[in-house]
Amino acid sequence: FTPKRLAGKRVLITAGPTFEPIDPVRGITNISSGKMGFALARACADAGAEATLVAGPVAQATPRGVTRIDVQTALQMRDAVMRNVLAANVFIGVAAVADYRPATAADHKMKKAGGDGLTIELVQNPDILAEVASLPNPPFCVGFAAESQNLDEYAATKRAKKRVPLLVGNLVQDGMGGDDNRVVLFDDSGRHEVPHGPKDAVAEAIVEHLAGMLA
């Protein structure tokens, strides 16, 4: 690993899930430990970058030298990103953002009403990565695609649709929740396999590739 390859770069990263409240004690969320995003923030800081991490609710220690902003919801995550993105040279969206949120959150704990069921109206959340990538002067954008099948096909489509130069694909069965991961990097020059290994090592390999693309 070549040290300080991101010296002078400001990197903004999202990590973890978002939590979308239904009422004060319930909500909907995605399964995400935040480990990959935190490992990337650490690798960026180790490479000399000024790293800012916008984190959903996770139980992860803040890596040394990383500025952390904690958020709960996708809308809060988007706000925090938009407040910090103009200063960023690189944006890495690792967060597992909930695609939908309840249209309204109840102020008080909802009571069982009897009857058969309950319908909660959901509205779509903004796609933070796509919004950042379509800014007039976007930072260099890196996206993640966690798929359960057809990784190459879905990742290539996602990269084109969100217009990100670098997309990191992983099969959810390879990485979710665990300490290890296996990813494939997709860019204009094709696909690049990163060997299976601890998320810290995988993060270093991603940063190495990213630094090469920025150079």
Strand spans (E) along 136-202: 140-147, 166-171, 180-187, 190-198
Pick one of 70, 79, 127, 208: the residue that binds ligand C5P (CB under 6 A): 127
* Block residue for tokens 């099969």: 171
Instruction: Give the contact letters, 35-74, x = binds to ligand C5P (CB under 6 A), - = no.
Output: ---------------------------------------x
Q: Is 126 annotated as a binding residue?
A: yes
Pick one of 11, 94, 185, 207: the residue that binds ligand C5P (CB under 6 A): 94
Q: Is 112 annotated as a binding residue?
A: no
Asked if 145 and 161 count as a contact pair (C-beta separation under 8 A), the reply is no
Separation between Cα atoms, residue 71 and residue 175, nearest integer Å: 23
CB of residue 81 to ligand C5P, shortest distance in Å: 8
Asked if 15 and 37 count as a contact pair (C-beta separation under 8 A), the reply is yes
Q: Is 162 annotated as a binding residue?
A: yes
Asked if 75 and 99 count as a contact pair (C-beta separation under 8 A), the reply is no
Q: Is 93 in the site for ligand C5P (CB under 6 A)?
A: yes
Q: Is 79 annotated as a binding residue?
A: no
Separation between Cα atoms, residue 108 and residue 186, nearest integer Å: 46
Cα–Cα distance list, 61 to 3, 56, 206 (Å): 22, 13, 21
Separation between Cα atoms, residue 16 and residue 177, nearest integer Å: 11
Give 112's DSSP letter: P
Token pair belonging to 101: 């949120």
Pick one of 33, 52, 73, 125: the residue that binds ligand C5P (CB under 6 A): 125
CB of residue 125 to ligand C5P, shortest distance in Å: 5
Instruction: Give the contact letters, 9-38, x = binds to ligand C5P (CB under 6 A), - = no.
Output: -----x------------------------
CB of residue 99 to ligand C5P, shortest distance in Å: 6
Separation between Cα atoms, residue 46 and residue 188, nearest integer Å: 26
Choice among 30, 84, 89, 170 that is catalytic: 30
Pick one of 73, 144, 210, 211: the residue that binds ligand C5P (CB under 6 A): 144
Q: Is 63 annotated as a binding residue?
A: no
30 in active site: yes
Residues linked to residue 194 through DSSP beta bridges, in sequence order: 183
Q: Which residues of the chain form contacts with ligand C5P (CB under 6 A)?
A: 14, 74, 93-95, 97, 99, 125, 127-129, 143-145, 158
What residues act catalytically?
30
> Binding-site residues for CTP, please?
99, 109, 126-129, 144, 158, 162
